[in-house]
Amino acid sequence: MPILQPPVPQLPASLSFAEKTAIVTGANSGLGWASIIHLAQHHISTLILAAKATKAALLADPTVRALPTQPTILVYELDLSRPSSVASFASKVLAEIPTLNIVLLNAGMGDLNWVTTPETKTEQMFQINFLSNALLAVRLLPLLRGSAQKSNSTSYLCVFLVTMLVRELARRTDAAEVTVNSVCPGMVKTNFHAKQPLWLKVPIFFVNALRSRTPEAGARALVNAVSAGPQSHGEMLADFEVWENTFLDTEQGKKMEEKVWKETLAAADSFAPGSVEEANLRD
C-alpha cells in the first residue's frame, strides 16, 4: 500500500443532475454531507436527506447559497438500527416521491463494542452497514426502475462498500434501467471512528494526518459512482475506476456470495413481505 493516496479526479464541469431526484443516507456529516454539496453544485433538482441534517443547515451552506438555483430539499427520518424505521422510510418515499433517479446508500458506522439493535437484537454494525441498506435497496429498486422507464434515462443505486450484494442485484437488474454499483472512496477524514477506544483513535489520527483524503475529495468518488456508465454495473469503483475483487470469482467466494444473497432475501422477506417479488429479485 503506498504511503500517499493518488489524487481523486475532479468531477466534470459538464456533469448535470438537472431534473433528477436523489436520496442520500448519512447526509448529516462527512462523506454524505460532502456528496449532497457536490450534487447541489451539479444542478440536482430534488434532494431527499435521510439523516439528522436539516434543510436550513444545507441552505445555509455558503456553496449552496451561492448557487443560482437551489434544489428542493426534503428531510425524511431514518434510523438504520431499526427495521421498522427503514420500512417506514421506504413506504414514505414510495407514497410521496413519484420519480426517483439516484439512491446513494452511504450511511454506516464503526464500533468495536458488541452492541445489539433494539428490535432484532442483531449486532449493530451488521444491521446498520449491511442489512438495513440491503432492505432499502430492495424496497426502492422498483421505483428506480419505473423512473428510468418514465424518463428514458438510467437510474442509479450505489451501495457503499457492499460488493456481494451489488453483484447479485446487478445480475437481476438491467443496467440500462438501473445501474447498480458500489464505491470505495479510499481513506477519508470523517467521524466514522468516533466511537472507537482511545488506544485505536491515536494511531487513526496519525494515519489520517498522513494519508487520508478530505470528505470533499472522497465524495467526488461517490458522486462519480451515481453517474458512471454501464461498465460500473455490478462492480466496485475506486478512484473512478473499476476495482477487481478476484476473491469473489473463486469457488469459496462464489459460495459465500450465494449464501449472503439467500440470507439477505430471507431477511427482506421477513422485514417487508412481498418486497422481493415486487423488486423481481427471485430466481
* SS3 sequence of 94-141: HHHCCCCCEEEECCCCCCCCCCECCCCCCEHHHHHHHHHHHHHHHHHH
Is the CB of residue 187 less than 8 Å from the CB of residue 213? yes
Instruction: Report d(CA 273, CA 271) in Å as an integer.
Output: 6
| CA distances in angstroms from 200 to 31, 89, 119, 197, 245, listed in the order given | 21, 34, 30, 6, 28
1: pLDDT strictly greater than 60: no
> What pLDDT was estimated at residue 5?
84
Per-residue pLDDT tens digits for 90-105: 999 999 999 999 999 9
Rounded mean pLDDT, 129-156: 96
Q: What is the mean pLDDT of residues 197-209?
A: 70
The pLDDT of residue 27: 83
Residue 240, sorted as left (phi over 0), alpha (psi -120 to 50) or beta, turns out to be left
The cell numbers describing 200, all together, are 485505536
Decide if pLDDT at 252 tops 90.
yes
Q: What is the pLDDT of residues 149-186, one digit of tens each?
A: 999 999 999 998 789 999 999 999 999 999 999 999 98
109's CB contacts (< 8 A; 6+ apart) are 124, 125, 128, 129, 192, 195
Q: Mean pLDDT lowest for which of 101-115, 145-159, 200-214, 237-251?
A: 200-214
Name the pTM for this structure.
0.91
Residue 245: the pLDDT is 87
In this predicted structure, the answer to whether residue 202 has a pLDDT above a threshold of 80 is no
**pLDDT level of residue 107 (50, 70, 90 thresholds):** confident
- Asked if residue 160 lies in contact with residue 183, where contact means CB atoms within 8 angstroms, the answer is yes
280 compared with 193, residue with greater pLDDT: 280
Q: Round the average pLDDT of the chain to a whole number and report it.
A: 89
20 pLDDT band (50/70/90 cuts)? very high
pLDDT, tens only, 33-50: 899 999 999 999 999 998
- For Cα atoms 222, 226, 231, give the angle at the middle one, nearest 5 degrees: 105
Which cell goes with 223? 458522486
Top-confidence residue, 108 or 35:
35
Question: By three-state DSSP, how is residue 85 classified?
Answer: helix
Q: What is the pLDDT of residue 222?
A: 96
What's the pLDDT band for 199 if we cut at 50, 70, 90? Answer: low
Is residue 280's pLDDT more than 90? yes
β-strand 236-238 against 241-243: which pairing, if any? antiparallel
Asked if the model's pLDDT at residue 261 lies above 90, the reply is: yes
Backbone φ and ψ for 172, nearest 5 degrees, come out as: -115, 15
Q: Please, are residues 133 and 159 in contact by the beta-carbon 8 Å criterion? A: yes
Task: Decide if pLDDT at 135 tops 60.
Answer: yes
Residues 42-91 have pLDDT tens digits of: 999 999 998 665 666 777 778 777 777 889 989 898 999 999 999 999 99
pLDDT at 186 (0 to 100): 82
Delineate the domains of the chain, giving CATH numbers in brackets: 21-186+215-278 (3.40.50.720)
More confident position, 214 or 65: 214
Span 3-11, mean pLDDT? 87
| Share of residues in the chain with pLDDT > 70 (%) | 92
- Whose cell is 442520500? That residue is 24
